[in-house]
Amino acid sequence: MVQHAQIVYGCRNCEKNGIEVPIKTAKAPNPVIKNGLASPSAAAYVMTMKFVDGVPLYRQEQHYARLGIELSRGVLSNWMIKGSEWLELIYPRLKQKLLEQEVLHADETTLQVLKEPGRTAESQSYMWLYRTGSLGPPIVLYEYQQTRSGEHPRNFLKGFKGYLHADGYAGYHNIPDVTLCGCWAHLRRKFDEALKGLPPPKRASGSRAKEALDRIIRLFAIERELKRCHPEERLQIRNQKSRPIVEDLRKWLEDILPGVLPKSLFGLAVHYGLNQWTKLVRFLEDGRVELDNNRAERSIKPFVIARKNFLFCNTPRGAKASAVIYSIIESAKENGLNPYAYLNYLFEKLPNLDSADDAMLDQLLPWNVKLL
């Protein structure tokens, strides 16, 4: 336990003689939660347990009860919401740095929020994810929204000019100054599903689905060789090795299209590939563009896994707080920081600095912080 003693000084002689008594109070650190019991480490621990280790609040409540500590899930929830308000000072700085990049990745997944105004508890909401690519500081940002409307990425990405990796969802279309990049991993997955849907004899003897897969696998093999290359060198080698495979695949898909059943798994894969083609070949324009959107999928996976445990958010305020906390935690992990140590550090620093000073806030961004 850490105790802070705040000493108050007064002049006894002045008090004795009935004149004005000067009072001086020693400065004490501001708490994470005003008039609350949560220390920086306690708030960081509760957040880490839920958002890193996937332990929902009701199970944390039981855990603390076994230790003889009475902490209701309502209190724990309040700690997280109040704590997230400090983290909201960091979130806009991360967003500004993210929008300054030239290559981004995006994805979205469902979320249930029980008490949304004007909506039933069963209504489906969404957690959107935006993150940086291989260049620039590693930043991962979540945003809670009630719908999957394309207005959300348009609003969030206002000011961004560059390439955006996505999975083909139309909600990412028509974003000003944004060039969409397709995901070859999605196309590969669709042909893999088509192959697995065949009877074992046909699967073993070879099929058009396997032929498509083999071509795509060759592209990924080339990319693995180029992982450490400079973007200009990567683009040059792609045009030498990958472009012939891509052009041959395009001609092959167009040739077989008339004889494909549109609603079959193979037909769906073929149509997806041709419909997404201009976005899929974007990696041949710029060496910074990646072959897939796996970065976004990896970053949204921790939320998807944890969602199986906590199932839903109770209120929109809680959903927004969750988005902010996940953003800070996942950005910390991307920068090689221990999430608990970073949250504890922020809760010690943020309540005691000038929140209007962007330069001071920037010193707390995860790539500028060194923790043991």
Tell me, yes or no, whether 268 lies in a domain: yes
Nearest to 194 by CA among 184, 209, 180: 209
Tell me, yes or no, whether 222 lies in a domain: yes
Tell me, yes or no, whether 188 lies in a domain: yes
Q: Would you say the C-alpha torsion 106, 195, 265, 193 has a positive or negative sign?
A: negative
Q: Is the pLDDT of residue 326 over 90?
A: yes
* Helix 316-334 / helix 294-310 crossing angle, nearest 10 deg: 130
Q: Would you say the C-alpha torsion 57, 322, 127, 340 has a positive or negative sign?
A: negative
pTM of the model: 0.89
Which one-letter DSSP state was computed for residue 17?
T
Nearest to 182 by CA among 78, 277, 60: 277
Q: Would you state the pLDDT for residue 199?
A: 79
Tell me, yes or no, whether 369 lies in a domain: no
Tell me, yes or no, whether 337 lies in a domain: no
Which one-letter DSSP state was computed for residue 282?
G
- The 3-state secondary structure of 69-121 reads CCCCHHHHHHHHHHHHHHHCCCHHHHHHHHHCCCEEEEEEEEEEECCCCCCCC
The pLDDT tens digits for 282-310 are: 999 999 999 999 999 999 999 999 888 88
Tell me, yes or no, whether 218 lies in a domain: yes
Integer Cα distance of 37 and 248 in angstroms: 65
In 3-state terms, what secondary structure has residue 143? strand
Q: Is the pLDDT of residue 26 over 70?
A: no
The pLDDT tens digits for 91-118 are: 999 999 999 999 999 999 999 999 999 9
Q: What is the mean pLDDT of the chain?
A: 91
Domain that includes residue 193, residue range:
184-284
Tell me, yes or no, whether 39 lies in a domain: no
Q: Is the pLDDT of residue 1 over 60?
A: no
Integer Cα distance of 25 and 18 in angstroms: 21
Tell me, yes or no, whether 61 lies in a domain: no
Q: Would you state the pLDDT for residue 21?
A: 61
Q: Which residues, at least 6 apart from 303, have a Cβ–Cβ distance to it below 8 Å?
A: 109, 127, 129, 142, 326
Residue percentage of the chain with pLDDT more than 90: 74
Counting the structural domains of the chain, the total is: 1
